[in-house]
Amino acid sequence: MVFQLANRYPASVAFTVQLLAALFGVIHVAVICKLINYALRLRLRSASVSLDVLRTWVDMTIPRIDWDLPLRFFFPVTLMVFFSLVPAALWAGSFAPLVSSTSTSMVLRCPDYTRNISLIKEYPMEIGKAGPSYRNSQGLFTFSVGQQLIGPLLSAAAGASSNDSLAKITHPKIDNTQFSYTGRSYGVGSSAGLTDLDFPQANAAGYKYNEYGYLTTAQCIYNQSSNFTLSGPVNEWIYAAAGTLPDSVEGPEYSNYIGHNAKAIVAMGVAYSELSPRRYVAITAGEFYAHLNNTQCEFDFAPTMFEVTVDLANLNITVKPTSAIPETYIHESDARNITRTVVRQFELLSNDLTNLYDSLLGQALNSSIAAYSMSMGGSWPPLTQEERTLGGLANAMIAMADDMLVAYGSAQLMVGTRINSTTSVPRVADVYLYALQFGQPAYIYAVFALNTVIVLAVLVERYRTRVWADLTRFNYLDPRDLIVAASRGGEQLAHAADDMVGQDGRKVPRHVWLLSDPDEGNGRLVVRLRADEGGHAAIEVDEARSEALMGEGWVSYEDVGVDEEKAVAKEAWERREKGRVGVFGSAR
């Protein structure tokens, strides 16, 4: 709930954090300034201060920047103002909500090839004899992959070589879940978007799990001795693709293709016998696709454990092979049936995608070959045309085989479970959830250290001053105390301020900064604090120090000799040093 609010209203959360940080920062600064105020009030009992120093004390205790201060006072005040901002900043960093993550585990249903795979088989191409299917908002799920999922498979073939290698391609999952694979799917990850709907997706970042599958590889060559060829027409617009493959058992392969002529036909032959020990796809093509003629691809399906990582925020799936698993995890006959069914889909695709004028499958394979040629254009030595063709062809065949396995896995989950619940298996997934982390450790430790320092400072000052036993009621921050104490000092203070004028009878104006006001020139006037018999504070002029300052800068050297000039200069310097008052005042 809190995470959702913070994620939905980040500006409001930032506003609240700033308010709380400012509030806690004010508490810190108030304590620090109170200590400074008490210390300077104790100092004022035994020190004479100029009016500039008194202004500096006020500015440091509030704290604020006074642009009229002399530079030697201005910089300490500025430093104090800067440090007064630090506590609030530390508090903001110590409890500002940050996006973090935590983990939990949940059960995910995955396709299972160790139990009931009777639905994974080759179905007749006739209308009404297709395998079981199910359609919903998440997509079409069917066991007739080579017939009813032609569009996605054709897209996979065309985009198989869009990047330098299959490992870098991003391509959509073969459904409507909007998920995409980064790199190869390896035929796994079908559960994403289908059986993970029970996850706490409102704040789930993603999840990771292991899944059994097949690591598919394909080696493509030119087999010039292949006798799988086109012939005909055997009937009007009908051509035959027939011949024996390296893994043919129980006779040669045969299938029919349509066309005005054989030039635009791309035919794929796959052993139909269930006893075939290997997995070959032989291609014979007409003149328009002559570069594909007599190509042959051998598939290998290695049972493998895969690590599937699903990014729910970006709808990405990343699959990584982790280890080989024993062949016995699936019964040999079942494994043979699955892989045979996958490879047989290529023959169905080539039939479905050939028309009177062109072969859509041939165009998709050409797209993969062209992309592969461009991606490998910088290689040296340059690839031959044969290498480019076989490389692009192998990528397309692998991409289609991966998507077919994903389609069968999705059908096991969405169709098989509606008929027989043994087509899926529960697996434990590590789920990563978005969470809120309040503050960073460095700022939390800094606030703790600051609190400790302030508490220690209060205790030390309390001990040093004997619980501020000598603290007077006079507070230089209170204008009431200043007015009353100045009135008790009498008219002497006002006369002394009036006497601090230049030789021409005007006040000494000074502008230090653009933002400053004209200075009346009486900041150098030195005062001291006195108490009457009743203990009431009175502000009086420190005559000795004020007198020393009044002559500063107005030394005349007319009509004097060298020795006299040095004596006058020395006397003026002594008066100036005697009247100088530091930032903490001057002892009487």
How does pLDDT run across 47-88, given as a tens digit for each residue? 888 888 998 999 999 999 888 888 888 999 999 999 999 999
Confidence of residue 587 (pLDDT cuts 50, 70, 90): low
Token readout for 255 is: 């299938």
For position 567, what pLDDT does the model report?
56
Query: Does 382 have pLDDT greater than 90?
Result: no
pLDDT digits (tens, 9 = 90+) for 18-54: 999 999 999 999 999 999 999 999 998 888 888 889 9
Q: Say if residue 321 is preceded by a cis peptide, omega within 30 of 0.
A: no
Confidence of residue 558 (pLDDT cuts 50, 70, 90): very low
* Residue type at 472 in one-letter notation: T
Query: Does 146 have pLDDT greater than 80?
Result: yes
For position 493, what pLDDT does the model report?
79
Of the listed ranges 135-144, 314-323, 365-374, 514-523, the least confidently predicted one is: 514-523
- Contacts of 440-447 with C-beta under 8 Å, sequence gap 24+, read 440/93, 440/94, 440/98, 442/93, 443/90, 443/92, 443/93, 443/94, 444/94, 446/90, 446/93, 446/94, 447/87, 447/90, 447/91, 447/94
Please check whether residue 376 is in contact with residue 141, taking contact to mean a CB–CB distance below 8 angstroms.
no
pLDDT digits (tens, 9 = 90+) for 290-331: 999 999 999 999 889 999 999 988 899 999 999 888 665 565
Show the CA angle centred on residue 377, arms to residues 375 and 383, nearest 5°.
Answer: 110
Who wins on pLDDT, 471 or 418?
Answer: 471
Residues 6 or more apart from 224 whose CB is under 8 A from it?
Answer: 294
Query: Does 505 have pLDDT greater than 70?
Result: no
Token readout for 116 is: 């009931």
Q: How many residues does the chain have?
A: 588
Confidence of residue 540 (pLDDT cuts 50, 70, 90): confident
Question: Across residues 251-258, what is the average pLDDT?
Answer: 90
Token readout for 386 is: 């044969």
Question: Across residues 371-375, what is the average pLDDT?
Answer: 87
Question: Across residues 403-418, what is the average pLDDT?
Answer: 90
Confidence of residue 560 (pLDDT cuts 50, 70, 90): very low
Token readout for 155 is: 């897209």
Domain ranges of the chain: 2-96+439-587, 101-120+129-436
Tell me what percent of the residues of the chain surpass a pLDDT of 70. 83
For position 421, what pLDDT does the model report?
60
Buried b (16+ CB within 10 A) or exposed e, 436-466: beebeeebbebbeebeeebeeeeeebeeeee
Query: Does 568 have pLDDT greater than 80?
Result: no
As a whole number, the mean pLDDT across the chain is 83
For position 332, what pLDDT does the model report?
57
For position 116, what pLDDT does the model report?
77
The rounded distance, in Å, linking the Cα atoms of 248 and 294 is 16
Token readout for 525 is: 């006037």
For position 299, what pLDDT does the model report?
94
The rounded distance, in Å, linking the Cα atoms of 144 and 462 is 87
Please check whether residue 130 is in contact with residue 147, taking contact to mean a CB–CB distance below 8 angstroms.
yes
3-state secondary structure string across 403-418: HHHHHHHHHHHHHHHH
Query: Does 207 have pLDDT greater than 70?
Result: yes
For position 105, what pLDDT does the model report?
85
For position 331, what pLDDT does the model report?
56
Token readout for 475 is: 């507070």
Confidence of residue 504 (pLDDT cuts 50, 70, 90): very low
For position 330, what pLDDT does the model report?
61
For position 273, what pLDDT does the model report?
83
Question: pTM of the prediction?
Answer: 0.68
The rounded distance, in Å, linking the Cα atoms of 295 and 390 is 8
Residues 6 or more apart from 485 whose CB is under 8 A from it?
Answer: 474, 529, 537, 538, 539
* Residue type at 317 in one-letter notation: I
Of the listed ranges 134-148, 173-187, 310-324, 558-572, the least confidently predicted one is: 558-572
Q: Which of 254, 309, 311, 318 is nearest to 284 (CA)?
A: 254
